[in-house]
Amino acid sequence: MEFHQLTAFQTVARTGNLTRAAEALHLSQSALSTQIKNLEEELGVALFARQAKGMRLTRAGETLLPHAETVLEKTTELGRTAMSLREEVAGKLSIGLNTDPTFLRLNRVIRAFTTTLPQVTLTFCISQTLSTEAMLKRGEMDMGFAFGTSFSPGVRSLQLATTPVSVVVPRHLAGDPAALDWPAVAAMPWIWTTCQCPFHLLCQKRMDEAGVRPNTVTDAVDENIVKELAMGGMGVTLLRRSEAEDVVRQGAGVIWEPGEIQVPLCLTWLSRRGDDRLITSAAAHIAAIWTENKDG
């Protein structure tokens, strides 16, 4: 069994509700449900009775919960004791989230900080790659996730992963996707962006190489809006691969494989804070989370 499974067990038991527990842990309900199911299978007992109004502990769950809480408490204590053996890192840290918190592994970030940096108080804010540098300089956040690598010398970046971004073509326009090329795709109606989005900049470079321009019919910035427009078949879109696959599963579009681009995901902070132990410790912990499983 793993730490996050026990945390899921404890949180669902405390809230008595899968939805509220998922929100507290920054997980999807399906991911949380899978963690509980895997723990039940490993233990060989049912921990909850699933009811219309929520989740009720079984007798086995009531018996095992105190043991799970003891393990969690001792694990946290271990991290704090280790911290006491070295110079303590403490303070408030605000992190900007430029996209879906689940994609950014926010739950794992929170668990890592709770366990090994207990004196660091985390807060989160909504950001966009375009506004990352300005928000850092205004002190609105200490660190921020961002796509791409085009930052000024005043911003330091650490690449965490490479994110596949797909061209999604409305199903009613796709025909035979294998027969499509850049001129044909560019001529279709496009959902584009007026900001310097790294996704669109890289896609524009592909189009420039092919000597074409997108037939823009709608401008959008927020990726949730873009996804909804894609679900409605409003035009060709650029979406992270996982988001694009959601559109495909709904039957609203197809992924045009030749159009896929790879976009770096980075963690950023001000260069002048490069020696700040709060920043360097946080960056090391977040980088370790992404190193654990490059495909996760």
So what's the pLDDT on residue 85?
53
Query: Rg of the chain's alpha carbons, rounded to an integer?
Result: 22
* pTM of the predicted structure, to 2 decimals: 0.63
In this prediction, residue 237 has a pLDDT band, given cuts at 50, 70 and 90, of very high
In this prediction, residue 159 has a pLDDT band, given cuts at 50, 70 and 90, of very high
So what's the pLDDT on residue 293?
54
User: Does residue 144 register a pLDDT over 90?
Assistant: yes
What is each CA distance from 263 to 124, 146, 149, 241, 255, in whole angstroms? 23, 10, 9, 11, 17
- CA geometry: angle at 273 spanning 268 and 278, to 5°? 85
Mind listing the pLDDT tens digit for each residue in 64-106?
999 998 888 888 777 655 655 556 777 889 999 988 899 999 9
So what's the pLDDT on residue 168?
94
So what's the pLDDT on residue 51?
84
Mind listing the pLDDT tens digit for each residue in 255-268?
999 989 999 999 99
User: Does residue 295 register a pLDDT over 60?
Assistant: no
162-264: what fold? D-Maltodextrin-Binding Protein; domain 2 (3.40.190)
Mean pLDDT of 142-169: 91
Pinpoint the residues of the chain covered by CATH 1.10.10.10: 3-84
The second-level CATH assignment, the architecture, of 91-161+265-292 is 3-Layer(aba) Sandwich (3.40)
Rounded distance between C-alpha atoms, residue 98 and residue 94, angstroms: 13
Pinpoint the residues of the chain covered by CATH 3.40.190.10: 91-161+265-292, 162-264
Mind listing the pLDDT tens digit for each residue in 117-131?
888 899 999 888 888
So what's the pLDDT on residue 227?
85
Q: Quick one: DSSP state of residue 236?
A: B
- CATH no. of 3-84: 1.10.10.10
In this prediction, residue 296 has a pLDDT band, given cuts at 50, 70 and 90, of very low
Q: What does the mean pLDDT of the chain come to?
A: 87
